[in-house]
Structure 1
Amino acid sequence: MGQRPQGFDYTISSDGAVRIRHHGKVATTLRGRRAADFLEDVDGEDDQLLMARVTGNYKHGNERVARNHPRNR
């Protein structure tokens, strides 16, 4: 399998929005129900993976290989 995601952190603003950063740059901002759901789930054991999935930054290295697989043609 690939490497585990790293470099993510998050902050909660005064209006309740959650800003997820990846290596210091804002990757996404969650508001409303999505922010509330994220904050419920973030107490889990693998916060980095959760933040990577929420931002869509979790596929690295195997996209080309998977695209060329006979099952995906």
Structure 2
Amino acid sequence: MSGIDKRNRLSEEPFSYQMTKKGTVMISYEGKQVKIVKDKEAEHLLSKIKEVDHDRTKVQLLLAKITGNFKRGNEKLGITKKNRK
């Protein structure tokens, strides 16, 4: 797995998840909600998390993969055309 997380970001555990009473899984990145997983997809994710629960890096990898490519590089600055002058 060392080739997957070359910059060692998953060891910082940026992802977290929370399960609701209805079985929905809310995934957060650095405290901000980025994805909601429902129904069979949520059940499948939770079963995979239970399989690798002993290894926090593998759990982080699962959460990263399910969120997909949501970061584009401009989130930190919050710059819009209105803000620039």
When normalised by structure 2's length, the TM-score is 0.61
Name the SS of the counterpart of 1:42 in structure 2.
Answer: helix
Partner of 1:71: none
Q: CA RMSD in A?
A: 2.2
Q: Return 5+ residue gaps in structure 2 as ranges.
A: 1-5, 72-85
Alpha-carbon deviation of 1:58?
A: 8.7
Identity value in percent: 31
Give runs of aligned pairs for residues 41-60 of structure 1, distance below 5 A.
Answer: 41-43=48-50, 44=52, 45=55, 46-57=58-69
Whole-Å Cα distance in 2 between the matches of residues 58 and 4 of structure 1?
A: 16
Name the SS of the counterpart of 2:28 in structure 1.
Answer: strand
The residue identity in structure 2 corresponding to 1:39 is L
When normalised by structure 1's length, the TM-score is 0.70
Q: Return 5+ residue gaps in structure 1 as ranges.
A: 60-73
Whole-Å Cα distance in 2 between the matches of residues 21 and 12 of structure 1?
A: 12
4+ residue runs over 2 A deviation: 1-6
Could you say if the C-alpha distance between residues 57 and 42 of structure 1 is closer, same or farther in structure 2, counting changes exceeding 3 Å?
farther
Q: Deviations over 1:18-58 (max 9, x none)?
A: 00100001110000000000000012131000000000149
* 2:19 pairs with 1:28: no
Q: Which has the higher contact order (CA 8 A, sep 6+)?
A: 1
Name the SS of the counterpart of 1:14 in structure 2.
Answer: coil
Partner of 2:21: 14
Q: How many residues align?
A: 60
